[in-house]
């Protein structure tokens, strides 16, 4: 792999002072520090994992740090995304990240890529870095990052989180397994909720993102035993850490000796989601919806004002309805809809508007209802759109 | 949950995404002689897990990874992998949060 090249860069007097606690580490020393200075890492996602990872990698002195993200900072990010502060809300994440990281360490180069990583740009971007740290928030990008890392020979330090649980491994090294060797296929859409839907303990990405950064440092400085062929499982609730053995799949479609897939593919389609147009846009994968009939929040408001409001079904969890209520007639969590159709039997024949937070879970529920003969429509944008366009006293979360 | 002469008590670790179907329990103890039997015993106790672990024809879903100790059962004998008292099984989910 590229990172074992004997590349180093000389350190200035200021740098020797700044990194003195590294220089006195016998296992690391000046050689390790010079390797870091000559090295580069691409962080895909500047969110919960990318925040602590970027800060520690910058502080440690990795010479060139690239960041890929296209979001703006939201208030709900601040519970865990420590790169950002209250004054950054509403502004570009990467502009804020650049300012914070350059202040933290002016000796490193920060490169910002404000775009959505796609099959069109991933190979060029990733090939320009020694190591990738995958901290994205959706399955299609996980598979895209993996495949592009395999195809460019770039080690992928993988970390992911959910609620109280984290996973870390190093994929796509020359001899080790890749993400596809372990997770050959993604789960169907909707089975694993996103962090927006399922919640995440704010400290968890701090724990896991710093472990991810540790693995990056080890690869770049060529020290220790990286998590190649091992999956670290972290359960913050029980504070239980377990390591599982991973093996290279000799039939892996991407990293085996005779791969069946040698180019990047449409990863939304691979993950069972509607394809994006491949260009940068403002919609999060969480908010992608299936092709079911929709109604806008303005339409719903108009019809309610005219006294002809349709029956409204909320498919979120009860605690979510306590946070943000737009006046639904009934609540059935989306995963229970198929089993509780009898509660809607009285409304067969009339229109049913289905809503959730962003429109993703309600799209699934709408599809289930339509398959059972209900005239269901998905409320586009969910309570977020209602808060944005109709009533800003409805909290967003 | 099931007892026959050849079975052994096994601990199964339930990942967070599936705890919604196990009354939020992080582990379950079953008695079984093979991995397949242990998972069936788990599903018998928590029927809502069935669709998450198995396809309609009763095979394990491709995105469900099962480990005995630290080894993927795909590299052992699959669902026929033998179990001994004290063995730990882990259901390892795909998660993608960041």
pLDDT in tens, B37-59: 999 999 999 998 998 899 888 88
Q: Which H or E element spans position B44?
A: helix B35-45
Higher pLDDT, A255 or A193: A255
Confidence grade of residue A193 (pLDDT, cut at 50, 70, 90): low
> Does one domain contain both A197 and A338?
no
A255 in the same domain as A128: yes
User: Same domain for A149 and A258?
Assistant: yes
Categorise residue A373: left if φ over 0, alpha if ψ from -120 to 50, beta otherwise.
left
pLDDT of A258 reads 94
**HEC-encoded secondary structure of chain A:** CHHHCCCCCCCCHHHHHHCHHHHCCCCCHHHHHHHHHHCEEEEECCCCCHHHHHHHHHHHCCCEEEEECCCECCHHHCCCCCCCCHHHCCCEHHHHHHHHHHHHCCCCEEEEECCCCCCCCHHHHHHCCCEEEECCCCHHHHHHHHHHHHHHCCCEEEEEEEECEEEEEEECCCCCCCHHHHCCCCCCCCCCCCHHHHCECCHHHHHHHHHHHHHHHHHHHCCCCCCECEEEEEECCCCEEEEEECCCCCCCCCCCCCCCCCCCCCHHHHCCCCCCCCCCCCCCHHHCCCCCCEECHHHHHHHHHCCCCCEEEECCCHHHHHHCCCCCCEECCHHHHHHHHHHHHHHCCCEEEEECCCCHHHHHHHHHHHHCCCEEEEECCHHHHHHHHCCCCCCCC
**Domain that includes residue A356, residue range:** 287-389
The answer to the question of residue A21 being in a domain is yes
**What span, in angstroms and rounded, lies between the C-alpha atoms of A298 and A388?**
11
Same domain, residue pair A343 and A371: yes
Record: contact A136-B96, CB cut-off 8 A = yes
What is the torsion angle, in degrees rounded to the nearest 10, for the CA atoms of residue A184, residue A187, residue A192 and residue A193?
110
CB contact under 8 A, A194 and B97: yes
Identify the pLDDT of residue A1: 45
Please indicate, yes or no, whether residues A265 and A295 belong to a single structural domain of this protein.
Answer: no
Contact B67 A244 (CB under 8 A): yes
Q: How far is A301 from chain B (nearest CA, A)?
A: 34
- Residue A47 CA neighbour count, 13 Å, CB half: 28
pLDDT of residue A287: 38
Rg (alpha carbons) of chain A, rounded to whole number: 23
Which tens digit of pLDDT belongs to each residue from A134-184? 999 999 999 999 999 999 999 999 999 999 999 999 999 999 999 999 998
Query: Where is the domain boundary, A270, A297, A314?
Result: A270
Give residue A117's pLDDT: 97
**Could you tell me the pTM of the whole model?**
0.79
DSSP B26: S
> Which pLDDT belongs to residue A192?
67
Identify the pLDDT of residue A276.
Answer: 55
Q: For residue B25, what are the contacts with CB-CB under 8 A and spacing of at least 6?
A: B14, B19
Structural domain contains residue A156: yes
Domain ranges of chain B: 8-93
CA distance A28 to A220: 11
Residues A296 and A258 placed together within one structural domain of the fold: no
**Residue B1's pLDDT is what?**
53
Quick check: is A311 in a domain?
yes
**Rounded distance between C-alpha atoms, residue A274 and residue A292, angstroms:** 12
Same domain, A374 and A258: no
Q: Are residues A259 and A301 in the same domain?
A: no
* Whole-angstrom distance, CA of residue B96 vs CA of residue A293: 28
Active-site residue, A195 included: yes
pLDDT class for B7, splitting at 50, 70, 90? Answer: confident
Query: Quick check: B85 pLDDT over 70?
Result: yes
Same domain, A246 and A364: no
The answer to the question of residue A278 being in a domain is no
Does residue A86 surpass a pLDDT of 90? Answer: yes
Give yes or no: residues A255 and A295 share one domain: no
Q: Quick check: is A252 catalytic?
A: no
Nearest residue in chain B measured CA to CA from A244: B70
| CATH number of domain containing A58 | 3.40.50.720
Model confidence pLDDT, tens digit, residues A274-330: 765 433 333 333 333 457 899 999 999 999 999 888 999 999 999 999 999 999 999
B57 burial level (CB within 10 Å; 0-12, 13-18, 19+): exposed
The beta-carbon neighbor of A48 closest among B17, B75, B98 is B98
**Class for domain B8-93, per CATH?**
alpha beta
Contact yes or no for B22/B16 (Cβ under 8 A): no
CA atoms within 13 A on the CB side of A336: 16
Cα Rg for chain B, rounded, in angstroms?
13
Confidence of residue A195 (pLDDT cuts 50, 70, 90): low
User: Would you state the pLDDT for residue A290?
Assistant: 53
Does the residue A111 lie in any domain? Answer: yes
DSSP class of residue B33 equals S
Here the tokens at position A225 are 């035993």
> Is the pLDDT at A247 greater than 80, yes or no?
yes
**Record: contact A186-B63, CB cut-off 8 A:** yes
Q: Taking CB atoms and an 8 Å cut-off, how many pairs form between chains A and B?
A: 92
Do the domain assignments include residue A5?
no
pLDDT band at A194 (very low <50, low <70, confident <90, very high): low
Band (pLDDT 50/70/90 cuts) for residue A48 is: very high
Which span out of A103-112, A189-198, B63-72 was modeled with the highest average pLDDT?
A103-112
The CA distance from A307 to A96, in Å, is 47
Same domain, A176 and A308: no
User: What is the tally of structural domains in chain A?
Assistant: 2
Task: Check CB contact under 8 Å for B97 and A195.
Answer: yes
Specify whether the CB–CB gap between A130 and A2 falls below 8 A: yes
Residues A110 and A204 in one domain: yes
Using left for φ > 0, alpha for ψ between -120 and 50, and beta otherwise, residue A274 falls in beta
Average pLDDT, chain A: 91
Which residue in the list A195, A252, A255, A271 is annotated as catalytic?
Answer: A195
Percentage of chain A beyond pLDDT 90 is 82
Q: What value does the mean pLDDT take over residues A69-87?
A: 97
Q: Which residues of A fall within a CB distance of 8 Å from B26?
A: 235, 237-238
- A160/B93 Cα distance (integer angstroms): 11
What does the alpha-carbon distance between residue A328 and residue A142 come to, in Å, rounded to a whole number? 36
Angle at A372 between CA A366 and CA A373, to 5 degrees: 90
Nearest to A314 by CA among A368, A239, A253, A382: A382
């Amino acid at each position: 792999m590229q990172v074992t090249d004997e590349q180093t860069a000389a350190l200035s007097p200021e740098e020797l002072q700044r990194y003195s606690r590294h220089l006195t580490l016998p296992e690391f020393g000046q050689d390790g520090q010079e390797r870091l200075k000559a090295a580069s890492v691409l962080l895909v996602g500047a969110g919960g994992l990318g925040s602590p990872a970027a800060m520690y990698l910058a502080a440690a002195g990795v010479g060139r740090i690239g960041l890929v993200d296209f979001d703006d900072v939201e208030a709900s990010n601040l519970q865990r995304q420590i790169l950002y502060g209250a004054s950054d809300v509403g502004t570009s994440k990467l502009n804020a990240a650049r300012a914070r990281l350059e202040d933290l360490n002016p000796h490193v180069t920060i490169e910002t890529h404000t775009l959505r990583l796609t099959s069109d740009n991933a190979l060029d971007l990733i090939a320009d870095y020694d190591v990738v740290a995958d901290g994205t928030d959706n399955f299609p990008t996980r598979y895209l990052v993996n495949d592009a890392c395999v195809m460019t020979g770039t080690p992928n330090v993988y970390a992911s989180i959910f609620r109280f649980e984290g996973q870390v491994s190093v994929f796509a090294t020359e001899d080790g397994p890749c993400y596809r060797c372990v997770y050959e296929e993604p789960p169907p859409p909707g089975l694993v909720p996103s962090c927006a839907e399922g919640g995440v303990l704010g400290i968890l990405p701090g724990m896991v993102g710093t472990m991810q950064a540790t693995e990056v440092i080890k690869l770049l400085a060529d020290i220790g035993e990286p998590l190649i062929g091992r999956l670290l499982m972290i359960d913050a609730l029980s504070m239980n850490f377990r390591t599982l053995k991973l093996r290279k799949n000799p039939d892996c479609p991407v990293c085996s000796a005779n791969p069946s897939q040698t180019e990047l593919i449409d990863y939304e389609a691979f993950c069972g989601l509607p394809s994006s147009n491949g260009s940068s846009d403002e919609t999060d994968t969480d908010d992608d919806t299936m092709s079911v009939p929709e109604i806008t929040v303005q339409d719903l408001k108009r019809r309610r004002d005219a006294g002809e409001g349709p029956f409204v079904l909320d498919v979120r969890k009860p605690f979510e309805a306590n946070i943000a209520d737009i006046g639904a007639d009934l609540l059935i969590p989306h995963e229970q809809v198929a089993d509780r159709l009898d509660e809607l039997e009285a409304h067969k024949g009339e229109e049913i508007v289905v809503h959730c937070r962003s429109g993703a879970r309600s799209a699934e529920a709408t599809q289930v209802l339509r398959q059972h003969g209900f005239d269901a429509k998905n409320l586009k944008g969910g309570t977020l759109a209602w808060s944005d366009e109709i009533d800003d006293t409805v909290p967003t979360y | 949950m099931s007892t026959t002469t050849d079975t052994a008590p096994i601990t199964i670790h339930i990942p967070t995404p599936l705890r919604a179907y196990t009354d939020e329990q992080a582990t379950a103890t079953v008695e079984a002689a093979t991995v397949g039997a242990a998972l069936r015993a788990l599903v018998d106790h928590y029927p809502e897990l069935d669709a998450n672990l198995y396809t309609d024809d009763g095979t394990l879903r491709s995105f469900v990874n099962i480990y005995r100790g630290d080894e993927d059962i795909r590299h052992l004998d699959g669902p026929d992998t033998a179990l001994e008292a004290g063995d730990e099984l882990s259901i390892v989910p795909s998660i993608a949060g960041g």
